[in-house]
Amino acid sequence: MTKTREKVINILIDNSDKYISGEYMSDILGLSRASVWKHIKALKTEGFDIESKAGHGYRLHRKEKMGLSSYEIKHQLKTSYMGQEVYYFESIDSTNIYANTIANQTPEGAVVVSKKQTQGKGRSGKIWVSDYDQGIYFSTILKPSIPISRASFLTQVAGAALATSLEKLGVACQIKWPNDLVLNGKKIAGILTEMRAEIESISYIIVGIGINIGPKTFDGAISNVATSLANEGYQIQDLNLLRTFFIDFEDLYEDFKNKDYTRILGILKDKSAVLGKEIYLIRDGQKDKVFAENIDEYGNLIVRNELGFLEEIFTGEISIRGLDSYI
Ligand code: BTN
């Protein structure tokens, strides 16, 4: 979309509670009335619901649910870079896959958002079911100058930000180390962090997040471990959640880049679903009962094993289960 068209839609978004005349628009944009009309026509074909009423002007009817465009997402978004460049899709294979193809040409903080994914990727090669109207699926492109060993902690920075955003919207969820958000003991969101790196330096990192928002039926055993915000009684608007998240994530990501982990660790510990509990660690087909004691500055989980020794658990191919539930 051209800069002028972006200005036209921004005026309509700002004034969507009333009609605004073509004359007013042409005055503030320095365009002819015919040119304003041309942009309005083009915006309509892009899917914007713009009413033209003789003697009144134009009025944008904003949809209840997100789906309008990248412009709604970034409109007056109070961040410096997170979410300031948005690639929005109604459907895509995977936002992480797409983010990988554009990462070299996009600035830090660019995001790919989709209402549906046909090949949503989960951790450990699993599929992330990403149906339309049941969730929101997005990936942020990050380019931090950090050692490779620090990169996996970004998953937890994103988790801390998402938990903070949900809390602002009235949802008290917990973080199941290292990368799941849980509500009432079941998973509502997952995070998949992928990295492109040369031998010593990171080219970019993609943090992909899937959140179960709408009503959703989970089949078989999954119904014991997964849920959605709507299933738990929360009506959260995806647009609102996304915008809040970009603000919270930029805030904590700045701390992370400045090596200030105090707030991040505070949130991770405060909202942890595992700290202070006996849990099972499942790795290489083995299940060990441990006590979860702490999370260190690298995001490692510090556990006490049954022999009484402390162990440092790195994120990776490891799962955690509660003693008699998902968590
Ligand atoms: C997990 O297994 O818990 C991680 C799930 C991550 C899913 C998100 S949805 C947006 C992004 N694109 C993908 O293909 N996967 C991530």
Least confident of 26-30, 92-96, 282-286, 305-309: 282-286
Closest CA to 140 of 253, 240, 239: 253
Dist. CA 89 → ligand 1 center (Å): 16
| 45-82 residue pLDDT tens | 877 889 999 999 999 987 654 445 788 898 889 999 99
Cβ 139 vs Cβ 207: under 8 Å: yes
Give this prediction's pTM.
Answer: 0.86
Is the CB of 122 within 6 Å of ligand 1?
yes
What is the distance between the alpha carbons of residues 149 and 51, in angstroms, rounded to a whole number? Answer: 53
pLDDT at 317: 58
Look at ligand 1, atom 11, and give the residue with the nearest C-alpha. 208
- Most ligand 1 atoms within 8 A of CB, residue of 134, 181, 192 to mutate: 192
What is the distance between the alpha carbons of residues 26 and 8, in angstroms, rounded to a whole number? Answer: 10
Q: Higher-confidence residue: 316 or 134? A: 134
The atom of ligand 1 lying closest to the CA of 120 is 14
- Most ligand 1 atoms within 8 A of CB, residue of 93, 102, 121 to mutate: 121
Helices (H), 92-237: 95-102, 153-168
Average pLDDT across the chain, whole number: 92
Within 10 angstroms of residue 226's Cβ, the number of other Cβ atoms is: 20
Element (H, E) at 45: helix 33-45
Exposed, middle or buried by CB within 10 Å (0-12, 13-18, 19+), for 107?
exposed
Position 319 pLDDT exceeds 70: yes
What is the distance between the alpha carbons of residues 182 and 184, in angstroms, rounded to a whole number? Answer: 7
The pLDDT-based confidence of 3 (bands split at 50, 70, 90) is confident
Is the CB of 176 within 6 Å of ligand 1?
no
3-class DSSP assignment, residue 321: strand
Dist. CA 233 → ligand 1 center (Å): 23
pLDDT at 266: 98
What is the distance between the alpha carbons of residues 176 and 218, in angstroms, rounded to a whole number? Answer: 20
Dist. CA 212 → ligand 1 center (Å): 11
The atom of ligand 1 lying closest to the CA of 114 is 10
Is the CB of 249 within 6 Å of ligand 1?
no
